[in-house]
């Protein structure tokens, strides 16, 4: 391979690596935002007011069927020009909002599937015991709805990690951005972009395996809680 240079590779590596903190930080911030905002969608869809529910469902559908890149550009470039409410946001904040909101619609769906999975009798028992709405959710419904969705939520973390480089298009200085500027400065893209690919592989692959393990553990827990518990009992 005549164009490949290990010297360039070694030179570029620490520079590209400088962007890793931002890439991971942005992933986690977006993810946290999406996890929280996912609940906001659920809440808005359950407010007992039909027109609002329709509007919210429609907005979610709209967000999901628009490319995240378009949403990023809109928030970063177009939003400041919206009269009255528009404002200029930093690239990082724009990315958190753009990707966070985009993925929150998916996360909201995951929550919904978890909530739908809770037996109707559980709601009725909560009602019969006179639970107030807030406590019913935090003590009865969500503790049953969320654990089965943890593997799915984990998958979304990996998917988001792989979408975060989009933010380099609006100037968030993650690893892709570092690699790009290295490339344009020294006119060699092969090595820095290879480094980017390696970093993504090194981080996503083990995470995927971890989530797979988690998924199997969850399945076991929910199918065979009984067997697990009694074996624990036998040990103690």
Partner 1 sequence: MTEPIVTFKDVHKSFGDVDVLKGIDLEIKPAEKVAVIGPSGSGKTTIIRMLMTLEQPTSGDIFVGDQNLWKMEKNGEFVAANEKHLREVRGDIGMVFQHFNLFPHMTILENCMTAPIHVKKEAKKVARQRSIEMLEKVGLGDKLDNYPSQLSGGQKQRVAMARALVMRPKVMLFDEVTSALDPELVGEVLEVIRDIAKEGEMAMILVTHEMDFALDVADKVLFLDEGVIAEQGSASEVIEHSKNERLQSFLHRFRS
Dihedral sign computed on CA atoms, order 39, 111, 46, 55: positive
Site string for partner 1, 96-135 (x = CB under 8 A): -----------------------x-xx-xx-xxxxxxx-x
CB count in 10 Å sphere of residue 83: 5
Enter the DSSP assignment of 173. -
Name which position in 52, 62, 139, 198 contacts partner 1 (CB under 8 A).
139
| Alpha-carbon separation of residue 69 from 72, 74, 103, 166, 168 (angstroms) | 5, 9, 12, 7, 10
- Confirm or reject binding of residue 217 to partner 1 (CB under 8 A): no
d(CA 38, CA 59): 13
- Confirm or reject binding of residue 232 to partner 1 (CB under 8 A): no
Nearer to partner 1, 17 or 129 (CB): 129
Enter the DSSP assignment of 90. -
Minimum CB separation of residue 134 from partner 1 in Å reads 9
**Quick one: CA torsion of 11, 13, 19, 24, rounded to 10 degrees?**
-170
- Confirm or reject binding of residue 149 to partner 1 (CB under 8 A): no
Minimum CB separation of residue 31 from partner 1 in Å reads 25
d(CA 95, CA 90): 9
Enter the DSSP assignment of 87. -
Name which position in 144, 155, 194, 204 contacts partner 1 (CB under 8 A).
144
Minimum CB separation of residue 66 from partner 1 in Å reads 37
- Confirm or reject binding of residue 83 to partner 1 (CB under 8 A): no
Nearer to partner 1, 212 or 230 (CB): 230
Minimum CB separation of residue 125 from partner 1 in Å reads 4
Contact residues for partner 1, defined by CB under 8 A: 119, 121-122, 124-125, 127-133, 135, 139-140, 143-144, 147, 225-226, 229-230
């Amino acid at each position: 391979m005549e164009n490949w240079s290990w010297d360039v590779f070694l030179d570029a590596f620490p520079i590209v690596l400088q962007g890793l903190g931002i890439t991971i930080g942005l992933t986690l911030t977006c993810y946290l935002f999406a996890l929280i905002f996912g609940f906001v969608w659920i809440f808005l869809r359950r407010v007992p007011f039909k027109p609002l529910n329709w509007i919210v469902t429609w907005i979610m559908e709209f967000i999901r069927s628009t490319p995240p890149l378009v949403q990023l550009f809109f928030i970063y470039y177009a939003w400041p020009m919206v009269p009255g409410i528009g404002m200029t946001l930093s690239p990082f904040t724009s990315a958190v909002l753009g990707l966070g909101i985009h993925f929150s619609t998916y996360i909201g769906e995951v929550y919904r599937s978890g909530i739908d999975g809770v037996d109707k009798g559980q709601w009725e028992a909560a009602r019969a015991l006179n639970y107030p709405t807030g406590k019913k959710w935090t003590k009865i419904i969500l503790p049953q709805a969320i654990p089965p969705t943890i593997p799915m939520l984990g998958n979304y973390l990996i998917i988001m990690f792989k979408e975060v480089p989009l933010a380099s298009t609006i100037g968030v200085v993650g690893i892709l951005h570092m690699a790009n500027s290295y490339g344009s400065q020294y006119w060699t893209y092969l090595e820095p972009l290879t480094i980017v690919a390696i970093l993504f592989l090194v981080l996503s692959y083990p995470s995927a395996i971890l989530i797979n393990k988690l998924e199997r553990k969850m399945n076991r827990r929910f199918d065979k809680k009984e067997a697990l518990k009694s074996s624990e009992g036998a040990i103690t």
